[in-house]
Amino acid sequence: MVIVKRKQLSFSEKLYLPEILKGMSMTFRAMFKPRTTRQYPEEPLPVNEVTRGQPRLATNDEDGSIRCVSCGLCEAACPAYAITIDGQDTDRNAITIGGDVTEKFIEREPESFDIDMLRCILCGFCEEACPKDAIFMSDELELADFNRNDLIYGLDKLKRPVSQLRPRIDYIYKVNERWQAPSSTR
Amino acid sequence: MIKITVNGREVEADPTKPLIAACDDSGIDVPRYCYHPAMEPKGSCRICQVEVSEGGRPGRVMAACRTQVSEGMVVNTEADGAHDARRECLEFLLKNHPLDCPICDKAGECTLQDYSFQEQQAAGRTGEPRANLEKRVDLGDVIMLDQERCILCTRCVRFQEEVTKKPELTNAGLASNSYITTFAGRPLTGNYQGNLADVCPVGALTLKPFRFKARVWNLEKSSSTCAECSRGCSISVEVLRRGDVKRIRPVFNPDVNQWWMCDTGRFSFPEVNDPERLLGGLVANGADLMGSTTGEAIKHAASVLSTSGSKVLIASPFLTVEEAERVQPLAAAIGAELLFVSPDANDLKDDLLHTGDPCPNRKGLENAGFRGISPKDAADRVTGADAAVLVGERILKLLGGFDLGATKLVTFDTTACLASGVEACIATPFYVEKAGTWINVDGHEGELTIARPLPSSVSPLETSLEELTKTLSRTGASV
Ligand code: SF4
Ligand code: SF4
Ligand code: SF4
Ligand code: FES
């Protein structure tokens, strides 16, 4: 057991008012000192490619088509069960990148792709699981709305052109290069 | 029976069967692609290689599916040589494999994935381009063929030759340009095409009705019994996110269906995914029907039944044995004969499984004292009585539309009957939502299990029937 002795207050402390004035003077002095905190939200957070913001789905710059083939690996990897995907058949043909046909058929694409942003914990497992370079953590961090349903993002809210995600994609490849050769579909 | 040693354990082996069957019987897993217990072993894939030594000679690596067992044989399925052989085999199989698992419906239950993972064999040593074959070959209404994914095990060809005895598929081309195709490119026919997707160990033959509908690891699988004929094949009902049934597959049952099922049963699942199903109940309110809870509908039904004269009760052939037991006291309470609708045999009957009789529990109902009558007879009896009770899944569909006349009708079905004269409709579960028993044409019991939760507004048929009987006896006593 520890016995804590109460501090004996001095006479001026007991008077209360001098201490208040002392405190106020500190406050007033700080007003004219340079600011040390960020003026959020007027001054947004700095972001860079290492920022692990909300996941977004990449669309090809060539034709705006979605890269995702609805394989469900991100859904399976998601520890927060935030992702729900339904697939469908598609007739969309091969994507061509830099003159090479990288795939014969896409065959399958998401009919719906929902991420419940309230469940998403921004862990980046989906990004890591994706075999098709289709989902990446963007630098978008802000999330506010008046009801929960609007925070379940569907395809319309998740699609981003690949060029916008490029710094993150390059960063991920750089990190992954440690154990795997960069793929040509990049 | 002879004795052999597998992985240091002495096991019994049937000398008429290959070594791989002996391993299966003793619970030792040997990889296989081309071997299927229902078909002649072919020995074309070589993944089943194990080390065998006979008569004290040093072990040799050989294909377990093409090796005859002999007394005193010593088998090691985990020998280094066996693993090396399997890894080499996998390297060859993967050489031309497109590896499009992300879009392949087999992913998750694909043995090519499993064995590559088990053997840690993914990389190949060649830079040759992969074979370029057809990726989407439409083989009719049921099957889609991806020739690139095919590993040429010819299980599909042998299934048709040996099981359905109606060959339509063949292995064409030579050596590395071999591929599976139908004779003259004609579409597949018959009622057993779905089994091709089951026997195919990879994603080369996939089901069109299941194409891209769900990832298999998201499906919740429950064992059940097929409802489409009196054979009662053992099936696995596979449900996505506690909602729709996405797939029905056969489950091995040596007494009933072996490994197979017909396409009628396999693709019958839209029946149980009916978005228009009745929830709760409906009770007559003047000329209209009004939504209610099952409890209210049952009360109303009881008051109607206790105030009308002659009554009939017609059961559906889909009732389980347990439900039939609850129908008996109800029939006794209203003084009705035990009858069930027994539609005419359909033309789906064949030599393999389908019996042509659409009543999954005919035996069970007959054992419980029910008598089968034709839908026409049933409709006549209904219109001839003052009040009628129709009980069981699909009963309204089986009877078809008919004019009720002055009859007051109470129905227990998954859908509502909206004809005038209907007094109460009480919602019931689909067969995938109940636990119970059906007895098939040969007297085998087929078990139903709850594959998806019952909506909260629907009560099990047993409960509803018991409640109606109880309410009737109370009102009967007070009259
Ligand atoms: S892992 Fe990638 S390709 Fe697969 S469903 Fe997710 S985003 Fe789509
Ligand atoms: S057959 Fe198997 S290994 Fe081949 S693409 Fe399909 S899931 Fe992948
Ligand atoms: S299609 Fe499937 S079952 Fe037929 S040979 Fe190819 S891999 Fe075997
Ligand atoms: S399973 Fe034995 S060779 Fe294919």
Ligand 2 touching residue B105 (CB < 6 A)? no
Number of structural domains found in chain A: 1
- Residue from A68, A84, A106, A107 whose CB has the most chain B CBs within 10 Å, to mutate: A107
CB contact under 8 A, B103 and A106: yes
Ligand 2 touching residue B101 (CB < 6 A)? yes
Pairing label, strands A108-116, A83-89: antiparallel
pLDDT tier for residue A181 given thresholds of 50, 70 and 90: low
Pairing label, strands B408-413, B422-427: parallel
**Residue A184 within a domain:** no
Q: What is the pLDDT of residues A47-87, one digit of tens each?
A: 999 999 999 999 888 778 888 989 999 999 999 999 999 99
Residue A75, domain extent:
55-178
Q: The domain spanning residue A155 has which CATH number?
A: 3.30.70.3270
**What is the pLDDT, as a whole number, of residue B197?**
94
Whether the per-residue pLDDT at A93 is higher than 80: the answer is no
**What is the pLDDT, as a whole number, of residue A186?**
39
Q: What is the signed CA dihedral for B446, B450, B455, B460, rounded to 10 degrees?
A: 50
What's the whole-number mean pLDDT along residues B383-389?
85
Q: Higher confidence at residue B86 or residue B134?
A: B86
Cα B18 to its chain centre, rounded Å, is 29
Edge-to-edge, what's the strand order for the sheet holding B245-250?
B219-225, B234-240, B245-250
8 Å CB contact between B390 and B382: yes
Q: What is the pLDDT of residues B398-408, one digit of tens each?
A: 887 767 777 78
* Residue among B93, B97, B105, B155 whose CB has most ligand 2 atoms within 8 A, to mutate: B97
pLDDT tier for residue A99 given thresholds of 50, 70 and 90: very low
Is B243 touching A (CB cutoff 8 A)?
no
Is B99 touching A (CB cutoff 8 A)?
no
Is B57 touching A (CB cutoff 8 A)?
no
Q: Where in chain B is the domain with CATH 3.40.50.740?
A: 281-475
What's the whole-number mean pLDDT along residues B132-136?
84
Tell me if the domain spanning B2-93 has CATH number 2.60.40.10.
no
- CATH number for region B281-475: 3.40.50.740
**What is the pLDDT, as a whole number, of residue B285?**
81
Say how far apart CA B300 and CA B298 lie, in whole Å: 5
Closest CA to A71 of B100, B194, B142: B100
Report the gap between the CA of B185 and the closest CA in chain A (Å).
Answer: 22
B193: left (phi over 0), alpha (psi -120 to 50) or beta: alpha
**What is the pLDDT, as a whole number, of residue B398?**
85
Whether the per-residue pLDDT at A100 is higher than 70: the answer is no
pLDDT tier for residue A124 given thresholds of 50, 70 and 90: very high
- Ligand 4 centroid to residue B111 C-alpha, Å: 13
Q: What is the pLDDT of residues A12-27, one digit of tens each?
A: 888 999 999 999 999 9
- Residue from B96, B207, B215 whose CB has the most chain A CBs within 10 Å, to mutate: B215
Query: Which own/partner pairs from B131-140 qualify as long-range (CB within 8 Å, at least 24 positions apart)?
Result: B131/B96, B131/B176, B131/B177, B133/B179, B134/B179, B135/A104, B135/A105, B135/A107, B135/B98, B136/A105, B136/A107, B137/B181, B138/B187, B138/B208, B139/B182, B139/B187, B139/B188, B139/B193, B139/B205, B140/B187, B140/B188, B140/B189, B140/B193
Chain A residues contacting B, CB < 8 Å?
69-73, 75-76, 84, 87-89, 104-108, 131-132
Amino acid at residue number B63: A
**Residue A173 within a domain:** yes
**What is the pLDDT, as a whole number, of residue A95?**
56
CA distances for B242 relative to B138, B450, B451, B455, B469, angstroms: 31, 11, 8, 10, 32
B242: left (phi over 0), alpha (psi -120 to 50) or beta: left
**What is the pLDDT, as a whole number, of residue B1?**
86
Enter the tokens of residue B248: 């029905």
Percent share of chain B, pLDDT over 70: 99
What residues have CB less than 8 Å from A42, skipping those under 6 apart?
A: none
Number of Cβ within 10 Å of residue B31's Cβ equals 23
pLDDT tier for residue A103 given thresholds of 50, 70 and 90: low
Is B218 touching A (CB cutoff 8 A)?
yes
Kindly list the residues from chain B whose CB atom is less than 8 angstroms away from the CB atom of residue A89: 211-212
pLDDT tier for residue A185 given thresholds of 50, 70 and 90: very low
Q: Where in chain B is the domain with CATH 3.10.20.740?
A: 2-93
Among the bound ligands, the one closest to the CA of B103: 2
**What is the pLDDT, as a whole number, of residue B222?**
93
Number of Cβ within 10 Å of residue B290's Cβ equals 13
Whether the per-residue pLDDT at B2 is higher than 70: the answer is yes
Residue of A nearest to B104 (CA): A71
Whether the per-residue pLDDT at B477 is higher than 70: the answer is no
Number of Cβ within 10 Å of residue A7's Cβ equals 7
Whether the per-residue pLDDT at A101 is higher than 70: the answer is no
Say how far apart CA B256 and CA A13 lie, in whole Å: 93
What's the whole-number mean pLDDT along residues B94-100?
86
**Residue A140 within a domain:** yes
Report DSSP state, residue A148: S
Q: Higher confidence at residue A105 or residue A44?
A: A44
What radius of gyration do chain A's Cα atoms show? Answer: 26
Cα B323 to its chain centre, rounded Å, is 22
**What is the pLDDT, as a whole number, of residue A105?**
63
**Residue A47 within a domain:** no
Whether the per-residue pLDDT at B132 is higher than 50: the answer is yes
Say how far apart CA A148 and CA B288 lie, in whole Å: 39
pLDDT tier for residue B311 given thresholds of 50, 70 and 90: confident
Say how far apart CA B206 and CA B200 lie, in whole Å: 8
* Lowest-confidence segment of B62-71, B174-183, B199-208 by average pLDDT: B174-183
**What is the pLDDT, as a whole number, of residue B478?**
44
